[in-house]
Amino acid sequence: MPKTKTNSGAKKRFVLTGSGKIKRQHAFHSHILTKKTKKQKRNLCYSTLVDTTNVAQVKQLLALK
């Protein structure tokens, strides 16, 4: 049985926390920032956790059990 490969894009975007949760960054904070408000840009800069509905999908991309 061959080894399962980790998705290269996913390993750059997600980080496992010490408790086993998956941390992610917000989208829409890389360019076209002039039309976004200060509040919107400030709230996008913080990291957050992956939603429970998507955890299984992300774990499959990261080749986790």
Looking at residues 23-43, what average pLDDT do you find?
Answer: 97
- The predicted model scores a pTM of 0.83
Residue 64 CA to residue 24 CA, distance in Å, equals 16
Q: Please give the pLDDT value at position 7.
A: 96
Contact between residue 49 and residue 23 where contact means Cβ atoms under 8 Å apart: yes
Question: Quick check: 1 pLDDT over 90?
Answer: no
* Three-state DSSP class for residue 50: coil
Q: 50 pLDDT exceeds 90? A: yes
> What's the pLDDT score for residue 11?
96
As beta bridge partners, residue 45 has none
Do 13 and 25 form a contact (C-beta atoms < 8 A)? yes
